[in-house]
Amino acid sequence: MCGIIGAVGTRDVVPILLDGLRGLEYRGYDSAGLAVIDSTQRPVRERTRGKVTSLVEKLNARPLCGTTGIAHTRWATHGAPSERNAHPHVCGAKVAIAHNGIIENYETLRRELLATGAMLESETDSEVIAHLIAREIDADRSLLDSVAQACHRLEGAFAIEVASPKVPDALIVVRVGSPLVVGIGDGEAFVASALDALLDLTDQFVVLEEGDIAEVRCDGLRIFSLASPKREIKREVLKVEGKRHLKDKGEFDTFMHKEIHEQPEAAVRALESRISGTRVLQPVFGVAAERVLSRVRSVHIVAAGSSYHCGLIAKYWIEDVAGLPCQVEVASEFRYRKAVVLPGSLFVAISQSGETADTLAALRISRRLGFVASLAICNVPTSTLVRESNMTYLMQAGPEFSVASTKAISCSLVGLLLLTLLLGRSRGHSPDAEAEVVEALHSLDDDIREALALEPQIETLAAQLIHRNHALFLGRGPQYPVALEAALKLKEISYIHAEGYPAGELKHGPLALIDESMPVIVIAPKDDLIEKLASNVREVEARGGELIVFAGQDTSFAARSDMHVLPMPRVHELLAPIIYNVPLQLLAYHVARCKGTDIDQPRNLAKAVTVE
């Protein structure tokens, strides 16, 4: 999942490309590069290992200039993060390409190209694209035809942008399985993996659809179908106003820390115009929701990573509160198995970015499986997931720049809880039960603030964890997925190995790991399972494990030398997973900060996983 940006105009596009890359860096940040068609009509490029700042330094030392150009920020899939493997890839002076996605048959294509004398320089799957296009150019095809012919040989997912001296004032772009949007400016045009990257340049956009190939010029855009490149297609021009979200950390040292602290306001936005007094407002999920939800007899949730953990929490809610069967599945598994869909089943896809390749594939597959409808719980209104789903709940978390998801989790849980309440209502549940939860939701922001206030204690504890190699998180009921999420967060940003376990499962194996070097973090709100959890804690205590307990009011945990107790606010039982998740994010953050890792851009990861 890389980020691509392109521009064609009458001014030097290098500053535009660099600025666009900064806005797309969340998609991958192990290497970066750009290419322009220079005044001698040749593609010239600069590439670097590392982040966009390194590219800027190189370009300061050796400036490039051109009015047509493409650029790329990479998340390595095939080949190490190195300058040699960085995009754009070229084939002599004929063509330069940047690619986001994966070419699955690249080894076959590579062998074929090498056998016919091509000089391939990188280990990437992408470089074959440049050579395939060049071969078609040599056969005297137009640039558009050459790209189309080359694409017919490709298997996999790709968004491609192509610059060539053959048509020096145009870019050819293709979308198959990876997002691509065109921005139409005044006498100039732009291309990017995400609309947000172009918001400072224009307010007119065309979102390319699957199988589109387009010729982008400063004075116009022509779109064709890759299947029949002679057939021109008209696509709607969207007007989207706004500024690119400022990447401003404010008073914080990292985006993750800022985004953790934005959660009270984010929760208010996630609820805004969606609850009133004691009720959830019916159109939360769109006008069709009432009709659709009354037909729902079961729910099937599909997502990845932290979004998957939100789905696991929702399963407890949907089964306990709405009384409907609910399955939750990792998207990369769902897409490759024959799922049995219960009659009247609602498909729910959860994704912060709305561009996660596996989740999108799952949504597309779901259309053939007889679901009642699809619902996207998503943070990005212009994302593919939102555009392709029947119903949407927009998280309203605001842009999340840190790779580790934080505020989007709270907001998607809010959406899933509202869904639970509406499903309960459509099954005739008492309005009193709904009113009790809605009343609690009115003070969700204050509850989160109270949990955030534990930060000084968490910071002190974090300093003691940095030399540990492992950590165990325990919870029961809906707190078990909270434990999974806390473990993911810790390993993701601090590189400490961590596992989340249902506390009752300890004695079936993991108890063997417990000794004084194993920190065990326990999520312990006051609920029906608290006594069971307390016995599990005693099992750890008896084996000398070091305990950190996030304890609800009126629970019996007392601080001792081997047990740190963090007193959590009194919260409604259903809201506990949302609130308890917050200090666990802070714990991961402070451990990583003490260790000095790159918190916002952890190694080997990227924000939007647009490849499978």
Q: Which is nearer to ligand F6R, 353 or 374 (CB)?
A: 353
Query: The tokens of 89 are what?
Result: 């890839």
Give the residue ranges of DSSP H helices in 25-178.
Answer: 52-61, 106-115, 127-138, 143-152
Q: How far is the CB of 303 from ligand F6R (least distance, A)?
A: 6
Residue whose C-beta lies closest to ligand F6R: 305
Q: Are 350 and 321 in contact (CB under 8 A)?
A: no
Local structure of residue 219 (DSSP, 8 states): T
Residues 51, 58, 407, 607: which is the catalytic one?
A: 607
Least separation in angstroms between residue 305's CB and ligand F6R is: 2
Whichever of 304 and 448 has its CB closer to ligand F6R, that residue is: 304
Residue 531 CB: number of other CB atoms within 10 A? 9
| Closer residue to ligand F6R in complex, CB, 48/585 | 585
Residue 598: both structure tokens together: 């790159």
Q: Which is nearer to ligand F6R, 127 or 492 (CB)?
A: 492
Nearest 5°: the CA angle 84, 88, 91 is 85
- Please name the amino acid found at residue 325: P
CB of 288 to ligand F6R, least distance (A): 24
Instruction: Count CA atoms closer than 13 A to 256's CA, side-chain side.
Output: 29
Q: How far is the CB of 141 from ligand F6R (least distance, A)?
A: 38
Annotated active-site residue in 2, 91, 326, 378 = 2
The distance of closest approach from Cβ of residue 478 to ligand F6R in the complex, given in angstroms and rounded to an integer, is 18
Give the helix/strand (H/E) hosting 111.
Answer: helix 106-115
- Contacts with ligand F6R, residue ranges (CB under 6 A): 304-307, 351-353, 356, 359, 404-405, 488, 492, 608-609
Q: Is the dihedral of CA 568, 572, 577, 578 positive or negative?
A: negative
Cα separations in angstroms, 78 against 104, 175, 192, 356, 550: 10, 20, 22, 19, 42
**Widest pairwise Cα distance in the chain:** 80
Mapped onto helix, strand or coil, the DSSP state of residue 3 is strand
Least Å distance, CB 361 to ligand F6R, is: 12
Shorter beta-carbon distance to ligand F6R: residue 144 or 194: 194
Nearer to ligand F6R, 263 or 356 (CB): 356
Between the alpha carbon of residue 357 and those of residues 142, 194, 302, 399, 562, the distances in Å are: 32, 14, 12, 19, 44
CB of 266 closer than 8 Å to CB of 412: no
Q: How far does CA 131 lie from the centroid of its chain?
A: 32
Cβ closest to ligand F6R, residue 201 vs residue 304: 304
- Nearer Cβ to ligand F6R, position 412 or 426? 412
Neighbours of 553 (CB within 10 A): 11
Residue placing its CB nearer to ligand F6R in the complex, 223 or 304: 304
Alpha carbons within 13 angstroms on the beta-carbon side of residue 37 total: 23
Shortest reach from residue 15's CB to ligand F6R, in Å: 29
Q: Known catalytic residue: 2?
A: yes
Q: How far is the CB of 88 from ligand F6R (least distance, A)?
A: 26
Q: CA geometry: angle at 377 spanning 259 and 392, to 5°?
A: 125
Please tell me the distance from the alpha carbon of residue 580 to that of residue 246, in angstroms, as a whole number. Answer: 29
CA 540 to chain centre: 35
CB burial readout 404-421, b (16+ within 10 A) else e: bbbbbbbbbbbbbbbbbb
Distance CA 534, CA 520 (A): 13
CB 367 within 8 A of CB 398: no
Q: Per DSSP, what are the bridge partners of residue 101?
A: 158
Minimal distance in Å, beta carbon 409 to ligand F6R?
8
Q: At residue 501, what are phi and psi to the nearest 5 degrees? A: -135, 145
Run of H or E including 315:
helix 305-317
Nearer to ligand F6R, 30 or 212 (CB): 30
- For residue 583, whether the previous peptide bond is cis, meaning omega lies within 30 degrees of 0, is no
Which two tokens mark 14? 């290098």
Contacts (Cβ under 8 Å, ≥6 apart) of 175: 159, 208, 209, 210, 211, 212
Minimum gap (Å) between residue 347 Cβ and ligand F6R: 15
In the bound complex, what is the minimum distance in angstroms from residue 601's beta carbon to ligand F6R? 12
Helix, strand, coil percentages for the chain (3-state, nearest 5):
40, 25, 35
Which CB atom, from 384 or from 405, has the smaller least distance to ligand F6R?
405
Report the catalytic residues.
2, 607
